[in-house]
Structure 1
Amino acid sequence: SGGETKRLAFACEMLTNPPLMVCDEPTSGLDSFMAQTMVEAMQKMAQQGRTIICTIHQPSSEVFALFDRVLLMAEGRVAFLGLTTDAIDFFARSDQICPSNYNPADFFIMTLAVHPEHEEDSRSYIQSLCDKYDAGVGKGVYRQAEQNAKCGRTASVFDDYKENSSPYKASWGSQFLAVFVRSGLQIIREPLQLRIKLMQTTMTALLLGLIYLDQNYDQKGVSNMSGALFLLITNLT
């Protein structure tokens, strides 16, 4: 299904341990539980120092609360950029108070939507709200972004990552651990196959041991022992 495909694609990206992830509506097509689980995984990655940017479609209040910062856009302009907790206060100062026990995400969507029956008034209000943001909170955000660009902080973050990272997307230890865990799970889930392999290996070892028993340490004996080792390795693989 579409939800399973998204979860698989997200898991594959997590295995590469990227410093930056850009996700386009990762929760679309998922139920509320799986959507929250996926966002919690992204939150853990962000807490480990990675940058996670994503668009979100109709998040529940629990999912919305997991985000650290939110960017609200309307009519091609920025209506708010900052902490999710500050967004409600910003709209409250503009006489748009979010009701108690109401999903903040739904409230922001309704506030910034263009209503067909009041299209001109809606567009006018959105423009005034964006102007208010640019004159207040937005000015500080833009100033901070310019300072970061001048200091080259963004470049230094990726430079540090490149210096400390492996030439491969996943380190050797991560690859070994993933394959080891997968093999262990396959063995646990198929006990019959494990018994068959044990019996096969035991019988092969006994048969080869009897055939090549008491070999002489000469050219012929060494050749026979080499053949026995080859057969054992072939059987193990």
Structure 2
Amino acid sequence: MSHRIVYEHLAVHFPANMLMAELEHWSFYDDRYLLLELGGDNNCSTYHPQTNREVASRDWCVLAYGHHYEVIAKAVKFSAVCEGGGMRLSGQRGTLPETYIRHVRNALANPVPFGELSGLGLSVVAEIAQPGDNLGKEARENLQRHAHPVETEGRKLWRLNPLRRARDAALLMLCGEPGHGPAWDVAAASGPRFPCEGAELFHRLRSRKAT
């Protein structure tokens, strides 16, 4: 049976005071988070970059972003897939929804601060389009004030790099997740998939699990 294997969760922490400093006309009353997941389908394979052995493929994706409770709510929703056998954590024959949620909670409890992302090799690019993404008035005004869109197929498209630029992170959090569909419809992630590709990143992940 085809199912998703989850290898890692990594949360990025954006302090409210940092976000407020970037958008002077908007108040972020609490911290925000972005949750990344490294996973892939058990039926898809790739070659390990160091050993050249065939292994299950895996890629980073943006699972959720926003308030702490919003990220947890998304994790609870996705965890239901575990109940039917459609998803498991790496190294487990089967994963309970509660175990998956606990894995996410651990990542959120030990996040990488925004200022410490340099050198980890992770990248997130978000594309916010108008019309089409149900943007509120404040989001539209701040995008127009602080970012430069490109015109594509008659729409304005803003490309944001929330892991590299604090202002882009603030804009993404202000816009929020899409009204319909998952976060990865808006934000795409990339980064080292194996320890040999990103020693510092995977060292950080292992250290977090040991705490």
TM-score, length of structure 2 as denominator length: 0.19
Compare the two structures and name the one with the higher strand fraction: 2
Bigger relative CO (Cα 8 Å, ≥ 6 apart) = 2
Compare the two structures and name the one with the higher helix fraction: 1
TM-score, length of structure 1 as denominator length: 0.17
Q: Which has the larger radius of gyration?
A: 1
